Amino acid sequence: MSTVFNLETHVQFLKSVGPSRARALDRLGITTVGDLLAHYPRRYFDRSATVPIARAKPGAEATILGEVLTAGDRGTRTGGSLLTVSIGDDSGVLFAVWFNQKYLKNQFRPGRKVMASGLIQRHQGRLQMAHPDFELLDDPSDAPEAGAPAGLHTGRMVPVYGLTAGVGQHWLRSLVYQSLERLAGQTPEILPADVVKRRALPAREQALRDIHFPADQKAQAAARNRLVYEELFTIQMLMALRREHTHRQAGLALEKPGDLTRRLVESLPYSLTRAQRRVLAEILVDLRSGRAMHRLLQGDVGSGKTLVALIAALFVVEQGYQSVVMAPTEVLALQHGAVMGRLCSPLGITVETLTGSTPAAKRRAVLAAAAAGECDLLVGTHAVLEGDVRLPRLALAVVDEQHRFGVRQRGKTATTEAGAAHVLVMSATPIPRSLSLTLYGDLDLSLIDEMPVGRIPIKTMLARDGDEDAMWEECRAEVARGRQVYVIYPVIEETEGQDLKAATVEHERLQHEVFPGTRVDLLHGKMKSKDKQAVMAAFTAGEAPVLVATTVVEVGVDVPNATAMVIHNPERFGLAQLHQLRGRIGRGPGASRCWLLCDRFLSEETWERVKFFSEHADGFALAEEDLRLRGPGDAWGVRQHGAPGFRLANPVRDAELAKLCRDDVEAVLKADPKLTSAAGRALRAALEASWAGAVPVMAG
* Integer angstrom CA distances of residue 622 from 463, 550, 700: 20, 21, 40
Residue 170 DSSP class = H
pLDDT digits (tens, 9 = 90+) for 25-52: 999 989 999 999 999 998 888 777 789 9
pLDDT digits (tens, 9 = 90+) for 153-205: 777 888 989 888 788 888 899 999 999 999 988 888 889 999 999 999 999 99
Task: Please name the residues in contact with 516: beta carbons below 8 A apart, sequence gap of 6 or more.
Answer: none
What is the amino acid identity at position 405?
F
Dmax (CA) for the chain in angstroms is 84
* pLDDT given at position 662: 87
For helices 575-582 and 619-630, the axis angle rounded to 10 degrees is 150
- Strand-pair partners of 351: 377
Contact between 548 and 503 (Cβ < 8 Å) = yes
Mean pLDDT, residues 209-238: 93
DSSP 3-state helix, strand, coil percentages of the chain (rounded to 5)?
Answer: 40, 20, 40
pTM of the model: 0.67
Contact between 665 and 441 (Cβ < 8 Å) = no
Mean pLDDT, residues 265-289: 92
Mean pLDDT, residues 280-295: 90
Among 122, 215, 231, 90, CA closest to 649 = 231
pLDDT digits (tens, 9 = 90+) for 584-640: 898 888 899 999 998 766 777 788 889 999 998 887 778 777 767 666 554 444 333
pLDDT digits (tens, 9 = 90+) for 642-652: 334 578 887 66
More confident residue, 164 or 126: 126
Task: Compute the mean pLDDT over every residue in the chain, rounded to the nearest whole number.
Answer: 84
* pLDDT given at position 639: 39
- Tell me the H-state helices in 413-500: 433-439, 468-480
* pLDDT given at position 608: 85
* pLDDT given at position 497: 43
Task: Please name the residues in contact with 689: beta carbons below 8 A apart, sequence gap of 6 or more.
Answer: none
- Complete domains list, the chain, with CATH: 1-42+161-186 (1.10.150), 44-146 (2.40.50.140), 259-289+304-427 (3.40.50.300), 459-616 (3.40.50.300)
